[in-house]
């Protein structure tokens, strides 16, 4: 079973923690209390879109590589704990990414590589049909795995002790977004129903 409660003694040491130095600098340099912590991939286009969306809000961004899952990223968990205990953050936004095919996603893909929609056409419909459909189906499987991996990572994130405690007491609100890099569109992740939906629904 994955654990999110194990910490190494040097995790809060700035020189050892790749997140903490920039995070401390942002919080200390802010001219008013920081209300949002954004945890997202280092994708410039996505980060610009998030910056526009959060215009007028005070936010600190923690750029997370999804190559390392939350349950194994001791520095990330420690940085989140530290920021919540030493700031006025009331909202945390965890942003997934469709191209974040790291260890967590590879693990999900290995467990269920055949899940998700598949295209099936007559193989003789076109001489290149089979390789083309194979690539499409592999891409669909990869995208489905990335979305399932994000949902799993969100669940582990919500179990980080300070996050869990603050959320339960109503002092912290958790938000989930998933970025489709191929279209530049964000989907909202509904943790209660475990589903993705457009940010604006009719």
Query: 28-54: per-residue pLDDT in tens?
Result: 888 899 999 999 998 999 999 999 999
List, in sequence order, every residue forming a beta bridge with 189; answer none if it has no partner. Answer: 196
Whole-number Å distance between alpha carbons of 86 and 29: 14
Q: How far apart are CA 92 and CA 161, in angstroms?
A: 14
In the chain, the domains with their CATH numbers are 33-114+144-198 (3.40.1050.10)
Q: What is the pLDDT of residues 76-96, one digit of tens each?
A: 999 999 999 999 999 999 999
Write out the two tokens for 14.
Answer: 């700035």
**What long-range pairs does 122-127 form, CB within 8 A, spacing at least 24?**
none
Average pLDDT of the segment spanning 118-147: 67
DSSP secondary structure string for all residues of 1-25: ---S----TTTT-TTT-TTHHHHHH
> Is 185 in contact with 163 (CB distance < 8 Å)?
no
User: What per-residue confidence (pLDDT) applies to 66?
Assistant: 73
DSSP string of 134-169, one letter each residue: HHHHHHHHHHHHHHHHHHHHHHHHHTSHHHHHHHHH
Residue in the structure block whose two tokens are 């809000």 = 57
User: Looking at residues 151-158, what average pLDDT do you find?
Assistant: 93
Cα–Cα nearest to 59, from 79, 83, 81, 89:
89
């Amino acid at each position: 079973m994955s654990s999110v409660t194990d910490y190494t003694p040097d995790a809060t040491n700035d020189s050892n923690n790749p997140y903490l130095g920039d995070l401390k600098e942002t919080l200390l340099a802010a001219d008013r209390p920081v209300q949002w912590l954004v945890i997202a991939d280092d994708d410039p286009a996505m980060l610009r879109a998030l910056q526009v969306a959060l215009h007028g809000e005070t936010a600190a961004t923690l750029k997370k590589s999804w190559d390392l899952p939350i349950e194994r990223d001791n520095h990330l968990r420690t940085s989140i704990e530290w920021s919540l205990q030493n700031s006025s953050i009331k909202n945390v936004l965890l942003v997934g990414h469709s191209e974040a095919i790291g260890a967590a996603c590879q693990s999900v893909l290995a467990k269920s590589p055949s899940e998700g929609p598949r295209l099936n056409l007559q193989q003789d419909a076109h001489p290149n049909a089979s390789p083309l459909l194979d690539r499409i189906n592999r891409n669909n499987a990869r995208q489905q795995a990335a979305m399932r991996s994000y949902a799993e990572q969100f669940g582990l994130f919500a179990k980080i002790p300070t996050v869990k405690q603050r959320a339960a007491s109503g002092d912290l609100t958790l938000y989930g977004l998933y970025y489709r890099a191929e279209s530049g569109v964000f989907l909202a992740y509904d943790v209660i129903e475990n589903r993705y939906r457009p940010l604006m629904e009719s």
